Homo-oligomer: A and B are copies of this chain.
Amino acid sequence: MANFMDIHHGMKGITQEQLKEAHQADLAIESQEGVHFARAWADPDSGDVFCLSEGPSAEAVQRVHERTGHPADEIHPVPLTV
* Residues of the B chain whose Cβ atoms lie less than 8 Å from the Cβ of A44: 79-80
Q: Which residue of B lies closest to A40 (CB)?
A: B82
Contact partner, A19, options B14, B16, B39, B80, Cβ 8 Å: B80
List 23 A-B residue pairs with CB atoms under 8 Å apart, sorted by A's residue number.
Answer: A3-B41, A5-B41, A5-B43, A5-B50, A19-B80, A19-B81, A19-B82, A20-B82, A39-B81, A40-B81, A40-B82, A41-B78, A41-B81, A42-B81, A43-B76, A43-B77, A43-B79, A43-B80, A44-B80, A46-B76, A50-B50, A50-B76, A50-B78
Known: A40-B82, A41-B80. 13 other contacts (CB 8 A): A5-B41, A14-B80, A15-B80, A20-B82, A39-B81, A39-B82, A41-B52, A41-B76, A43-B76, A43-B77, A44-B80, A46-B76, A50-B78
